[in-house]
Every structure is written in C-alpha cells, then in structure tokens.
Amino acid sequence: MSLRPLTSPWFHAPAGHEKLWLGCAILWCFVMSLMMPYWHFRGKQNSTGEAYTVKPADFLARTEKFVAANRVGTFKNPIANPLGQELPLVEPPAGGDVYLIGRMWQWYPALRLRQGETYRLHLSSLDLQHGFSLQPLNMNFQVVPGYDHVLTLTPTSKGEFTIVCNEFCGAGHHAMTGKIFVE
C-alpha cells in the first residue's frame, strides 16, 4: 500500500496509542522550546551574540593599547609556534574590557584574571575565522574577522586554562593555543 496510489478516503483523526504518542511528543517539544527563554532570564550561561563591526587593524591597535597599559610580565608558551613562543602576560582591571586576538596561529596576549570578577572579553580575528575553545572547561565561541565578539565573562574557578582553536585555520591550526590564568 505504501507503494501504490491511495484511492479510498484516507483521512483519519489520530486515536489510541497514536494520539497518546502525539500528545507526549508535542508536550516535550513545548518543554524544550520553553527551556531556552527560561534559561536566558534565569540561567547564567547564554550566548547573546553581542558584537560590533571592527576593522582588523583597529582591533589590533586597541589590543596593543590594552597590552601596553596592563602588562605585568611575559608568558612563555611551551608549544612551538612560528610567531614565537613569548606572549605578553596582561592583567586587566577587574570589571574592565579585555582584548584577545585570534590569528594564525596564536591567541594574543596571555591573560591573568581574578576569580569572581566580571570582564568584558572582546574577541576578534586578524585573518581567518577561529574558534575560541576554553579548556578544560569546554566553553566554545566563534571568532570571525571584522566582528568584535563581546563575552561578559565571570571566572568562577581558579587555575590555568588553555584556549584551543577549534575552527580550521590552516596547517598550524592544531598548535594555536593561548592561556588564561585565574587567581
């Protein structure tokens, strides 16, 4: 019958088990739909997509200014990298703006943050698209050239965190890492 045209009137309202299943499925779909607005207002982890257009050169200039103003030392990345292994270590003021560049193949600069403080983290790329993947927490955001992607972030755990790139960006992609220290 699945393979031949239907001739008899074939409209029947759902009944019995089928009606039961349809009811369960519709209810579940509603629950899932409502969870997202609920979490947006009551949950603490959301991606609001706050972003501003920015020219790569301007973003680089802002980041260099941010580094010059807040540099506290040097971080030597143990992972070999064509751009060099030394990164400025920067400690921004609590509650302030933080700038982080993704480029082939490094996250610039290294950051030192305070537990429990809230920062506005500006992410952008100078070349290709990159993926901001904070490990071992496993928090992931897209980084797109031309867009200043702002995350309002509150570190709640101390330790050493590695930024891994998880958007393909060429042969050195796997070795593109950065650091965030939380004290």
| Residue closer to other proteins, measured from CB, 62 or 166 | 166
Q: How far is the CB of 161 from other proteins (least distance, A)?
A: 9
DSSP string, 73-119: EEEE-SS--TT-SEEEEE-PPTT-EEEEEEETTEEESEEEE-TT--E
Q: How many CB atoms lie within 10 A of CB 9?
A: 6
Binding flag, residue 57, other proteins (CB under 8 A): no
Decide: helix, strand or coil at residue 46. Answer: coil
Q: Which span (32-40, 58-66, 82-90, 92-100) binds other proteins, by CB under 8 A?
A: 32-40
Interface with other proteins (CB under 8 A), residue from 62, 114, 129, 181: 129
Q: Contact, 139 vs 70, CB < 8 A? A: no
Binding flag, residue 90, other proteins (CB under 8 A): no
Interface with other proteins (CB under 8 A), residue from 35, 61, 69, 94: 35
Total of chain residues touching other proteins, rule CB under 8 A: 87
Interface with other proteins (CB under 8 A), residue from 89, 100, 101, 151: 151
Closest CA to 69 of 29, 99, 106: 99
